[in-house]
Structure 1
Amino acid sequence: MSRHRLTRAESTLDRQLVGLNQARELGEGRLDDGALAQVYAVLERATSRRSLSADHTVVGFFGATGSGKSSLFNAVAATDVARVAVRRPTTSEPLAMVWGAEGSAPLLDWLEIADRREGDIVPGLSDDGGGLVLLDLPDFDSVQLSNRSIVERLAGQVDVLVWVVDPQKYADATIHNDFIRPFSTHASVTLVVLNQVDRLAIAEVKPVLESLAAILDHDGLGKVVVSGVSAVTGEGVLELRRKISAVVKAKAAKSARLAADVAVAAQQLSDASGGGNAAGVHQQDRKALAAGLANAVHVETVVTAVQSSYRLEATKKTGWPVTRWLSRLRKDPLRRLSLRRGGASEVNRTSMPPPGSAELAQVDSSVRDFGDAASLGAPGPWRASIRAAARSNRAALPDALDQAMAGTDLKANTRAWWWPVFGLIQWFALLVAVGGLVWLGTLAVLGYFQLPVPDVPQVEGWPLPTLMVLAGVVLGIFLAVTSKFLALAGSKSRGAQARRRLRASIAAVSNQLIILPTEAEIDQYREFQEALNLART
């Protein structure tokens, strides 16, 4: 592979690892811990492998008991260091043959391989003098659990996987299901070898190779070319060496292996997450939430109190002065709720009764409906996390709503323009009526004491003081009745204004405690999807 292509592959791998790590971090606390742990293990392995020798390609020979794996290893490496035996278990510790030992020690330490040998120049395998680490591993079906553990660990660490099978067990379901198929995404760094072809009749070799290829295709490794070899006769060994050598010279196996690991890990995260897109927060959902919360905290009760307070205040300011004092005996309904003020808040809480079970149930229902609507379409784990985000401030919600009500400027102390006008006329009418009464009283006293009584001006035959009394009383009563109708209309307008202000305050609380956390969680899910896509490309 050219240096440019190699650099591009490394850059792509960098981006994929960043995406995978971001997806893992975003999935914390939301996705299955087991899946996240596996992804973290992949990231750790990738980081470790990339920090070690880039000049060495690690090729591992994997096979079941009786496959002739160690014999083939010896044949490829042109040595006899790998222990070959008939009884199980055979290979018990991994063996490393290294061509170009310089810089390989940290890599072999990471692989935890103690038995290390330097290989001689082998035609077709190490003509260029180095950069290859061949591993002979324990049988993956070993009766010793420690051997199987070693194989499973190293299968996740080597750069190139060489699966060695034999004519007798090449179709064994355990071999394919437990070992080969889980690495179906690693076709670019996989070699499959049918060993012991010398035990087959010449006419049987091709059908067996085709049968094995068909099974591999079912495993997801249809692009892998199967090599037929014999460690005993040497058939196909040179060709296998050349394939291994080509992989080593390309210097791309490490990146390809890690990219395949990332793809598997990304798929694991995708499976743990599930697919789909959250519906998100829409305007109708915001309105429905605010309306539900407003009903739960009895906004209409406050609106009714605002209207009653307005009418009461109007009566105090514009009612007939003779009877308006009676209105002062009535307590302002807003004061009972600790809501009678204008401008900045003077209290931290209202005096409304604490929410009962019905009110709390309505709050819960409103929040739950909102969370359900916002999470609709999201996969299970994320739908649960979005719902949980909507409920995350549930404990603080009732108190926050009450404080929002207490802090809302209801404009309850704002006077209507017509109040002072009516009030001035009322007092004028009362003054006229009182003046008439005083005039009439004076005339009555003079007559009682047989004193001269002056003539009283008349209007259309009516004595002026009498007309003054009648006009003052009638005008006062008329203004009082008229103010009642004006106050009723004004109270509706003032109530509508208070309703808008209260709902705006409640909407602000719901936005802060419910909507923003929900939107943040939805954004988290979208970022997770983007990171996962980055890990896959």
Structure 2
Amino acid sequence: MSRHGDARESSQLDRRLEALNDARELAEGVLPEEPLNEVFSLLERASSRRSLSGDHTVVGFFGATGSGKSSLFNAVSGAEIATAAARRPTTSEPLAGIWGAEGSAPLLDWLEVRNRHHAAAVEGFADEGTGLILLDLPDFDSTRAANREVVQRMVGLVDVLVWVLDPQKYADAAVHNDFLTPLAAHGAVTLVVLNQVDRLPEKDVGPVLESLKGILARDGLGTVQVLGASALLGTGVGRVRSAIRHVALQRQALSQRLAADVAKAARLLREESGDGEAAGVRPATTSRLTDELATAANVPLVVRAVARSYRLESTRRTGWPVTRWLSRFRPDPLRRLNLRSNAPAELSRTSLPPAGAPARARTDAAVREFADYASAGAPGPWRAAIRGAAREGRDRLPDALDQAIAGTDLQASRKSWWWGVFNVVQWLALLTVLAGLGWLGVLAALGYFQMPVPQVPRVEGWPIPTLMIAGGVVLGIFLAVTGKFIAAAAANARSGKARKRLRNAVAAVAQELVVEPVEVEISRLKAFNAALKTAIGR
């Protein structure tokens, strides 16, 4: 493989490893700890392996007791590296045959392989420049727990896996269910050898190999290379050597192994998570949430209070001066709700009725409905996370809504221009009435004291003082009635503006305590799915 090809493959693996780590971090708190810990262990192993020699390919020989694994290891190595037969009936510790000692020690230390043999060159197979390490490993069906643990550990560490099976137990469920099937993604770095074919009649070798290939296909390893061999007679050993040499010279086994590990781990997270995307936050559902929270927070009550307060203030400022003072005895609805306070918003509180059971139920139902719509389509664990995020700020909602209402500028102290006009005219009308009454009073006093009474000017036969009194009274009453109609229309307009401001305040609270946490979880799910897609290699 070219240097540029190596760099490109390494860069792709970097991206996939980074994406897998991103997916793991994003899934924390959503998926169970066990699969996340498995992924973390894989990432640590990958980091450790990549920091060690990339010029060596580690090939592990795995097999059951009696499969002739050690004998095949010796045959491939071209030397009695692994002591076989009666002197060593089972492999108890990993043993390494090394071609290319330089740089291998730290790698073997990491693999915890103490038994090391610097193998002699084998023509056409390996020499010091090959960078090859063959491992003869304990039997995976050993009765010793320590041996099985070594095998399980090495399955996750070696670059290439060579499974040595024998004609009697090649279909054994233990090797297929416990090892081969879980490694279905590792077909590119897996080699299966049916050893001891010399024990089969020649006519049965082909059918048995085909049977083994069929079983492997059901395990998800249909593309794995399957070879027949006899360590005793040397049959097929050359093909096994050729397959291993090809992998070693390509220098791709490490990257392929890690890429397969990443894909497997990503699929594990996918299985735990499930597939799918959340429907997301929609303007309609957000608007409905705001409406429900506004109702639960007594916004309609405040809006009505704004209208009543405006009408009351209009009466006090534009009513007939003779009777307007009576409105002073009517309490201001906004002041009763403590919504005319000048205190800072973060310190002020309203006197609105506290949220009772119906209001709390309405709030909970609104939050739940919003979360259900937003999380629709999301996988189970993520749907639960989205719903949990929506409920997280639920207990803070009543206080936050009350504070938002208290801090909303209702423009209750804002004066209307027509108040001043009406007030001036009302007082002019009253002064006209008083002037008329005073005029008539002076005339009456002159007559009472038998003094000359001047002639009163008349208009169309009506005395001007009388017209002044009647006109002032009629004008005052007309302005008072007209002012009520104008005040009603203006109150509706002001309450409408107040409703809009209050709704915006409620929407801001809903956004902070409900919508944003939900959006964060939805974005988290989206990023998780994208990271998994990259990690799997799509």
Q: Per the shorter chain, which TM-score range?
A: over 0.9
- CA separation of 1:376 and 1:346: change in aligned 2, threshold 3 A: closer
Secondary structure of 1:263's match?
helix
Q: Please state how far the C-alpha of 1:330 moved relative to its aligned partner.
A: 1.0
Q: Please state how far the C-alpha of 1:499 moved relative to its aligned partner.
A: 0.5
Question: In the alignment, which residue of structure 1 is the partner of 2:41?
Answer: 41
The reply to whether residue 208 of structure 1 matches residue 208 of structure 2 is: yes
Kindly provide the amino acid, as one letter, of the partner of residue 503 in structure 1: R
Report Cα offsets for 1:236-261 as digits up to 9, x if no partner.
Answer: 11221121111111111111111100
CA distance in 1, matches of 2:347, 2:4: 71
The reply to whether residue 291 of structure 1 matches residue 273 of structure 2 is: no
Question: In the alignment, which residue of structure 1 is the partner of 2:236?
Answer: 236
Q: Please state how far the C-alpha of 1:392 moved relative to its aligned partner.
A: 2.4
The 5 A counterparts of 1:87-102 are: 90-102=90-102
CA distance in 1, matches of 2:194, 2:481: 108
- CA separation of 1:89 and 1:300: change in aligned 2, threshold 3 A: farther
Q: Please state how far the C-alpha of 1:165 moved relative to its aligned partner.
A: 0.3
5+ residue gaps, structure 1, are none
- CA separation of 1:361 and 1:455: change in aligned 2, threshold 3 A: same
Question: In the alignment, which residue of structure 1 is the partner of 2:282?
Answer: 282
The 5 A counterparts of 1:452-531 are: 452-531=452-531
CA distance in 1, matches of 2:11, 2:270: 23
Range that drifts further, 464-473 or 315-324: 464-473
- CA separation of 1:475 and 1:186: change in aligned 2, threshold 3 A: same
Report Cα offsets for 1:50-80 as digits up to 9, x if no partner.
Answer: 0001111100000011111111111111222
Range that drifts further, 308-317 or 119-128: 119-128
CA distance in 1, matches of 2:87, 2:173: 23
CA distance in 1, matches of 2:200, 2:30: 54
Secondary structure of 1:280's match?
coil
Question: In the alignment, which residue of structure 2 is the partner of 1:176?
Answer: 176
Q: Please state how far the C-alpha of 1:110 moved relative to its aligned partner.
A: 0.7
The 5 A counterparts of 1:220-369 are: 220-340=220-340, 348-369=348-369
Q: Please state how far the C-alpha of 1:395 moved relative to its aligned partner.
A: 2.4
Question: In the alignment, which residue of structure 2 is the partner of 1:417?
Answer: 417
Kindly provide the amino acid, as one letter, of the partner of residue 395 in structure 1: D
CA distance in 1, matches of 2:497, 2:389: 32
Secondary structure of 1:440's match?
helix
Contact 1:342/1:411 (<8 A) preserved = no
Contact 2:101/2:128 (<8 A) preserved = no
Secondary structure of 1:391's match?
helix
- CA separation of 1:178 and 1:218: change in aligned 2, threshold 3 A: same
Question: In the alignment, which residue of structure 1 is the partner of 2:158?
Answer: 158
Kindly provide the amino acid, as one letter, of the partner of residue 252 in structure 2: A
CA distance in 2, matches of 1:26, 1:358: 37
Kindly provide the amino acid, as one letter, of the partner of residue 266 in structure 1: A
Question: In the alignment, which residue of structure 2 is the partner of 1:196?
Answer: 196
CA distance in 1, matches of 2:394, 2:295: 17
CA distance in 1, matches of 2:230, 2:182: 27
CA distance in 2, matches of 1:181, 1:530: 27
Contact 1:345/1:409 (<8 A) preserved = no
Report Cα offsets for 1:302-340 as digits up to 9, x if no partner.
Answer: 011111101100100110100000001111110111112
Q: Please state how far the C-alpha of 1:84 moved relative to its aligned partner.
A: 2.9
CA distance in 2, matches of 1:307, 1:25: 53
TM-score (normalizing by structure 1): 0.97
Question: In the alignment, which residue of structure 2 is the partner of 1:438?
Answer: 438
Q: Please state how far the C-alpha of 1:345 moved relative to its aligned partner.
A: 5.4
Q: CA RMSD in A?
A: 1.7
Secondary structure of 2:473's match?
helix
Contact 1:124/1:238 (<8 A) preserved = no
CA distance in 2, matches of 1:61, 1:143: 18
CA distance in 2, matches of 1:86, 1:116: 21
CA distance in 1, matches of 2:222, 2:287: 56
Contact 2:263/2:535 (<8 A) preserved = yes
The reply to whether residue 406 of structure 1 matches residue 406 of structure 2 is: yes
Question: In the alignment, which residue of structure 1 is the partner of 2:146?
Answer: 146
Contact 2:130/2:248 (<8 A) preserved = no
Kindly provide the amino acid, as one letter, of the partner of residue 254 in structure 1: L
Range that drifts further, 166-175 or 392-401: 392-401
CA distance in 2, matches of 1:525, 1:10: 27
CA distance in 2, matches of 1:390, 1:184: 40
CA distance in 2, matches of 1:87, 1:392: 67
TM-score (normalizing by structure 2): 0.97
- CA separation of 1:141 and 1:86: change in aligned 2, threshold 3 A: farther
CA distance in 2, matches of 1:480, 1:301: 27
Secondary structure of 2:455's match?
coil
5+ residue gaps, structure 2, are none
Contact 1:66/1:86 (<8 A) preserved = no
Kindly provide the amino acid, as one letter, of the partner of residue 213 in structure 1: K
Question: In the alignment, which residue of structure 2 is the partner of 1:381?
Answer: 381
Contact 2:278/2:378 (<8 A) preserved = yes
Report Cα offsets for 1:449-498 as digits up to 9, x if no partner.
Answer: 22222221122222221121111111111111111111111111111111
Range that drifts further, 141-150 or 384-393: 384-393
The alignment covers a number of residue pairs equal to 537
Contact 1:341/1:413 (<8 A) preserved = no
Contact 2:137/2:151 (<8 A) preserved = yes
CA distance in 2, matches of 1:470, 1:242: 124
CA distance in 2, matches of 1:347, 1:421: 38
Report Cα offsets for 1:381-413 as digits up to 9, x if no partner.
Answer: 111111222222222221111111011111112
Kindly provide the amino acid, as one letter, of the partner of residue 388 in structure 1: G
The 5 A counterparts of 1:51-200 are: 51-85=51-85, 90-127=90-127, 129-200=129-200
- CA separation of 1:330 and 1:271: change in aligned 2, threshold 3 A: same
Contact 1:433/1:473 (<8 A) preserved = yes
Aligned-pair identity in percent equals 60
- CA separation of 1:89 and 1:412: change in aligned 2, threshold 3 A: farther
- CA separation of 1:237 and 1:352: change in aligned 2, threshold 3 A: same
Kindly provide the amino acid, as one letter, of the partner of residue 92 in structure 1: S
Contact 2:277/2:377 (<8 A) preserved = yes
CA distance in 1, matches of 2:2, 2:420: 93
